[in-house]
Amino acid sequence: MIVQKYGGTSVGSAARIRRVSRRIAATVKTGEQVVVVVSAMGHTTDRLISLAQSVNEEPPARELDMLVANGETITAPLVAMCLQGLGVPAVSLSGMQAGVRTSGHHSRARIRDVKPDRILQALGEGMVPVVAGFQGVTEDLEVTTLGRGGSDTTAVALAAALKADSCEIFTDVDGIYTADPRLVKTARKLTHIQYDEMLELAAVGARVMHPRAVEIGELYNVPIHVRSSFNDRVGTMIVAQVPMEDRQRVRGIAQESNVAKITVVGVADRPGVAAAIFEPLGKAGISVDVIVQNVGRSGHTDLTFSVSESDLKAAVKLVKLATREVGGRVSSAGGIAKLSIVGTGMLGMPGIAGRMFRSLADAGINIEMISTSEIRITCLVRRDQVEKGVRVLHKTFELDRD
């Protein structure tokens, strides 16, 4: 059994729905049991949101969910009826009908569990269930939406609940690359990548799959196949363990350009200072990424951290408020980018960080801040140098070689 998820671009018009349906029909012909998950067509969601804003500037989340959920429940029956026209028995199901139960957090609900009775019944009758992604219902049958990455999450969660052999995510790219192919001509498509590597890549700017879907895949060990809906080429499998040889190295380079830094000079060096600064940011929904605190001198210390450039203004305001309490002068700068290498191979190879820093230095790229996880190293650099940095690192770690 296979779960296939088609994103908004893949079902963006009647013609594309026909193409997607032919593809599903072809998979069915191979004898595979297929469950389909679809997103809203093209810009439907945006259009519904703007309609909402034209009647209420701040639409309440519960009603906005009721509204935007229509995007997916429009696509699902269209795909199902198109399949039927191709001679493939099919039935569309809303998130409710598919048994997707969620928390009550409107616009960002979490899937609690999936009761796939109706899906199994349809499969048992030889039909292709076409499920509206991105949505579910609470216990009280209130309609919810899952927020960013929602349809991917529906697909992987269904694959987990159905114990499907794999979950195919059809998108507008061919798979996961060693680096952004628009920046690096020699970037290679990876045949496999591990869940943890994919999560790190997503966290530092790779936009192919949302981390929450990958997390479910990891938790239930669902192989996720990221591939293009515009051709038949094999994409990238996201799995628990890539082949041993592949693990011995850096696997990918990622970059993210929308970064700014905030520095607080001369804050009091005592417990509670960091909390006083970062708690208000968290409450305001502002993600803080890299944090560096220097060793204190004479009871004071300096603190630097990065935020998304789009959050900069709000963040500076909150930090200035906090310094009234803990002291310090606030300065900030945009124009920064994150440059990361990712790979489980780094775990057993202590020289990797040194090679990264050396090659950036040789290329004249200054490192402003550093952040690491077990399988990732991220450097903050000037934005106008990040593309060069990606190419340098791609070459340094021989990612162009198979």
Kindly list the residues in this chain that would bind its own copies in the complex (CB under 8 A). Answer: 14, 17-18, 21, 48, 51-52, 54-60, 62-64, 66-67, 69-70, 73-74, 76-82, 84-85, 91-92, 94, 96-97, 141, 143
Nearest distance, CB of residue 23 and its own copies, angstroms: 14
Going along 250-375, which residue ranges are E strands? Answer: 252-268, 288-293, 300-308, 329-342, 369-373
* Of residues 138 and 166, the one with the C-beta less far from its own copies: 138
* Of residues 99 and 211, the one with the C-beta less far from its own copies: 99
d(CA 140, CA 47): 28
* Of residues 78 and 176, the one with the C-beta less far from its own copies: 78
Nearest distance, CB of residue 230 and its own copies, angstroms: 18
Select from 76, 115, 70, 71 the least CA-distant residue to 92.
Answer: 76
* Of residues 43 and 320, the one with the C-beta less far from its own copies: 43
* Of residues 98 and 202, the one with the C-beta less far from its own copies: 98
Going along 25-182, which residue ranges are E strands? Answer: 34-38, 90-93, 100-102, 111-114, 128-132, 135-137, 143-145, 166-171
In the sheet that holds 2-6, the strands lie side by side as 90-93, 128-132, 34-38, 2-6, 166-171, 224-228, 236-239, 192-194
In the sheet that holds 288-293, the strands lie side by side as 288-293, 300-308, 252-268, 329-342, 376-382, 369-373
Nearest distance, CB of residue 145 and its own copies, angstroms: 12
* Of residues 76 and 365, the one with the C-beta less far from its own copies: 76
Nearest distance, CB of residue 95 and its own copies, angstroms: 12
In three-state secondary structure terms, 57 is coil
Nearest distance, CB of residue 109 and its own copies, angstroms: 16
Count of CA atoms in the C-beta half-sphere (13 A) of 398: 6
* Of residues 64 and 253, the one with the C-beta less far from its own copies: 64
Provide CB contacts within 8 A for 250, sequence distance 6+: 341, 342, 343, 345, 346, 352, 393, 397, 399
Nearest distance, CB of residue 20 and its own copies, angstroms: 10
Count of CA atoms in the C-beta half-sphere (13 A) of 31: 0
Nearest distance, CB of residue 69 and its own copies, angstroms: 8
